Structures are given as structure tokens and as C-alpha cells.
Amino acid sequence: MPLNHVALTVSDRERSAAFYGEHFGLDARVHDDEHLLILSSSDGALLALSEGDPPARDLPRTNHFGFQLSTADEVYAARERLRAAGIPETEWQEEGLVRVQVADPDGYRVEFFAYG
């Protein structure tokens, strides 16, 4: 059963839409009204954004969602792109699982990873 979507409460929908579009490929708007903005990627992943007061600053470090890449080299490249864009890195791992975790504009943790 594939995961269909993730829904987040964000402080600024347009800022979050730009972040997830540029860095995570969620750049197609499939729904946009005064209550909800839903973004889609080319593989059909959905991210629903509602504007409000996000709880992210108080969430434990283990609360995150991730994007699986095919190879460790893709994770290294993603890490460099995120660093070049000034995105705050929250975790990095190279043993076994290769992953980089960053904070979005509201502090939600998002991860790129590959087994390898």
C-alpha cells in the first residue's frame, strides 16, 4: 500500500510551496483554495499545505518524512545542492544508510536517503 500524501500546517503556504518545489520536486499545483494547497511531484507524491501555526519547532528529532533516492551519489549531490542554497542541515549519516536531513522553513525535518 503506497503512501499517498503528507499534510503539514505551515506559517506561509507560498514560501513552503517554493521550498518543496525547488528542493524536492513537488512543483505541480493540483489543488489551491483558501484552505489548502496540494502539491504533486512527477511520481505522484502529494504534499498538502494548510496555513496556520506549525508545531514543528517543538517536535522531536525523530519526527520527519523522507524521499528515497536510487544511489548514495544522488544523496551526496542533494546534500551539496541544499548546502549551496543555505538550507539548514539537521542530520547526516554515511554508514549503511546514506542520508541527509534538513529543516524546512517551519522547522519540519525532511530527509533524502539511499541504501548503500
3-52 pLDDT, tens digit each:
789 999 999 999 999 999 999 999 999 999 999 999 999 999 999 999 99
- Report the CATH number of the 1-52 domain: 3.30.720.120
Helix, strand, or coil (residue 40):
strand
Question: In the chain, where does the domain assigned CATH 3.30.720.120 lie?
Answer: 1-52
- Report the CATH number of the 64-116 domain: 3.10.180.10
Per residue in 21-47, is it b (16+ CB within 10 Å) or e — as a string?
A: bebbebeeeeeeeeeebbbbbeeebbb
pLDDT at 77 over 90: yes
Q: Which residues contact residue 16 at a Cβ distance below 8 angstroms, ignoring those fewer than 6 apart?
A: 8, 10, 49, 104, 105, 106
Global model pTM greater than 0.85: yes
